[in-house]
Every structure is written in C-alpha cells, then in structure tokens.
C-alpha cells in the first residue's frame, strides 16, 4: 500500500499555484500534512468551500503540506465534469495544494489489497443481505439517512468464504467489518472528547467489489501521510469506524478535527433549497473571488462581514478556537446584490 497514485492529465495535475504557495505561505517545514478530499457529486457550494478553506488555513498556517484527492468511487452519484469544476473553483478561490491530485477510481487495486489483508486477519465476513446501506456504502454518510439502521449481524459467522456465500445464496456478497469493540473513544480537535460509539458491523467492500468510503478514506489518508483530517462534523459518526480500520490494519490514525456545518436559515445542512450558493452560480453573477473568500472567513469567525480578501490574508489571525461553536448560518446574502 502507499504508492499507486497515478497521474491523470484530465485534472491538470500540476497545480499551477503550488510552487508559489511554497514560497508565499511559508516553506513546508513542519510535519503537518492535511488534505482536501472532494467528492465530485455536484457543485462546490459555500458550505464545503468553507471546510476546504479551513483545511487550507490549518495546513498553511503551520507551514504544512496539503494533499488533494478526488473521491470518485461512488459510480452512480459522480457527475461528469464535477471533479474538474471543483478543482477550477478551488483555484479560483486562491486555494492550492501540493503534489499530484490523487484519484480514488484509479487506486482500486490498493483498496482490494487492504480488504484482502483484513479478510485474511479474520476481520471481515461475506454479507448477502440486500440492504440499501450496502449500495450507498461508497459515499461518505452525511446523515443517519445515508447510514440506515444498525446492522443486526444477520450474516456474521454464516459463510466461511466468499465462494461459500455465493454458492449458498446465488448472490454476490459484500464484505462487512465485524466490529469487536463497543466504542473507540477519541478527542476531536474541534468537537472535544468523543465516546466513539461503533454503530454495528459496516461494509468495506460492496457487492460489485468496489471499496466502501470508510475503507478507501483510511487507506488513502494513511498512504498520503495525513497527520490531521479537517472535515465537516456530519462525518463525526464515521470516525470510530475509521479508527477501527486503522487498528485492524495496524496503522497509526491521524488527528481529527470536525468543523461545525454551515446550515441554512432553517438550521438544516446548507443545500440547494436555501438558494444557489454554488461557486459556479456566484461566479456567473460576477461575484469576485475575494468577496467569497471574505464571506467564508466571516463564516469562520475570522473577519467582519463584508470583508474582501485573499486566503493568505486570513492566515495571521487564524485559529480554530475562533470558529463559532455551533452550526453556522450561511447564505448568499450580501454576496448577490
Ligand atoms: N469525500 C467526502 C465527501 O465529500 C469527504 C470525506 C472525508 O473528508 O473524509 O463527502
């Protein structure tokens, strides 16, 4: 495991601004390695743009390295052109990253190898249950509805091998991780001490042989040498599962920092129904990148509302402690006329 990132000309691998970043935002002298991990399932909007800005600020303020990886293993939900559009939006905002862009769909053998190791060590079992949760497993679960009910363990101990499961049922099995611990407590950099409850056995490989999000994210965060994961706090419940995988694979987990979500006026995760906050739309309306960055900085508690600035202008006063504690209400107000 570890190598296997392939160059993909489609996404313009060589980030034109990363050389400038090394010079402009401090030499990468620290051991900090962060990452941006967009899923190309739709347009980048103010909510995920703020999370990416925070991950960028975390890395650059520490003189660290920032990796970028496209999480495109979720076949049906991937939108053509969304990966390139996301990279374009990130560059437009003035965010940069270091080294090549990794693309998960090009690393399938690496995930299969990790699954084989987990299977050989007795952590996995074939599961022939036809649950929607298995089909959704390639996506990061952004809410209980993505995750479904706790798996009751129906197939646990039922089949000695994939072949036996196929022969007995005529179905193509998924592979589930058998959770051994009730909880894996951890301290989150933003959310504080967490009980780390593990919600039942979870899928690591879908029926079609493709990896689940939980598996791919662990393999890649390790392979990219990530020391801290900065992401939105709707993924907090996934972290104990990822810790269980690190443990089973004998790998050192990164630190985790889950930032509060940006929500709409109704308190729900920012979405289309709150108005079009996609960067695409804002750009098309003639909103300047500096206005969007300032708005995101305001949503992060870093600058007053109405500020226009570059990402680097937010570095001097940057601290996660300045983030508003709860969900932040974000809209396009003040950005569109
Ligand atoms: N690619 C995932 C998403 O956009 C994020 C995964 C992660 O940060 O762990 O939903």
Nearest to residue 221, comparing CAs of 245, 197, 203?
245
Q: What is the pLDDT of residue 337?
A: 55
Task: Output the CATH code of domain 7-106+260-329.
Answer: 3.40.50.620
Q: Which two tokens stand for residue 97?
A: 């990253």
Domain boundaries, the chain: 7-106+260-329, 109-213
Report yes or no: 69 and 103 within 8 Å, Cβ to Cβ.
Answer: yes
Q: What is the pLDDT of residue 205?
A: 97
Report yes or no: 64 and 30 within 8 Å, Cβ to Cβ.
Answer: yes
Q: Name residue, tokens 């739709």.
A: 42
User: Which atom of ligand 1 is least distant from the CA of 232?
Assistant: 8
Domain 109-213 belongs in CATH node 3.90.800.10: yes
Q: How many CA atoms lie within 13 A of 264 on its CB side?
A: 12
CB neighbourhood size of 12 (10 A): 13
Q: What is the pLDDT of residue 261?
A: 85
State which residues of the chain have pLDDT below 50.
1-10, 12-27
Q: What is the pLDDT of residue 30?
A: 87
Which residue out of 36, 38, 246, 259 has the highest number of ligand 1 atoms within 8 Å of its CB and is therefore the one to mutate? 38
For ligand 1, say whether the CB of 140 is within 6 Å of any of its atoms.
yes
CB neighbourhood size of 97 (10 A): 25
For ligand 1, the distance from its centroid to the CA atom of residue 230, given in whole angstroms, is 10
For ligand 1, say whether the CB of 71 is within 6 Å of any of its atoms.
yes
CA distance 302 to 137: 36
């Amino acid at each position: 495991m570890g190598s296997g990132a392939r160059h993909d000309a489609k996404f313009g691998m060589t980030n034109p601004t990363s050389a400038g970043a090394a010079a402009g935002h401090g030499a990468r002298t620290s051991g900090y390695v962060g990452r941006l991990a967009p899923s190309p399932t739709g347009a980048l909007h103010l909510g995920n743009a703020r999370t990416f800005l925070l991950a960028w600020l975390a890395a650059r303020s520490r003189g660290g390295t920032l990796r970028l990886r496209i999480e495109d293993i979720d076949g049906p939900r991937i939108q053509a052109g969304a990966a390139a559009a996301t990279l374009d939006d990130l560059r437009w905002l003035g965010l940069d990253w270091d080294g090549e862009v990794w693309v998960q769909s090009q690393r399938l053998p690496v995930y299969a190898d990790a699954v084989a190791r987990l299977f050989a060590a007795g952590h996995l079992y074939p599961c022939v249950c036809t649950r929607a949760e298995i089909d959704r497993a390639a996506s990061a679960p952004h809410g209980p509805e993505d995750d479904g009910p706790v798996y009751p363990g129906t197939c646990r101990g039922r089949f000695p091998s994939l072949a036996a499961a196929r022969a007995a049922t005529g179905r193509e099995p998924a592979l589930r991780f058998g959770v051994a611990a009730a909880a894996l407590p951890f301290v989150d950099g933003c959310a504080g001490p967490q009980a780390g409850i593990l919600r039942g056995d979870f899928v690591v490989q879908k029926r079609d042989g493709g990896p689940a999000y939980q598996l791919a994210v662990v393999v890649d965060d390790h392979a990219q040498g990530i020391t801290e994961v900065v992401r939105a706090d709707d993924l907090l419940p996934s972290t104990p599962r990822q810790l269980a995988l690190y443990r089973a694979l004998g790998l050192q987990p990164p630190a985790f920092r889950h930032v509060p979500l940006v929500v709409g006026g109704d308190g729900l995760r920012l979405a289309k129904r709150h108005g079009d906050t996609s960067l695409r739309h804002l750009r098309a309306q003639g909103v300047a990148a500096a206005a969007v960055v300032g708005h995101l900085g305001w949503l992060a508690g870093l600058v007053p509302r109405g500020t226009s600035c570059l990402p680097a202008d937010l570095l001097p006063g940057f601290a996660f402690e300045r983030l508003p504690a709860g969900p932040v209400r974000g809209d396009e107000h003040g950005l569109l006329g």
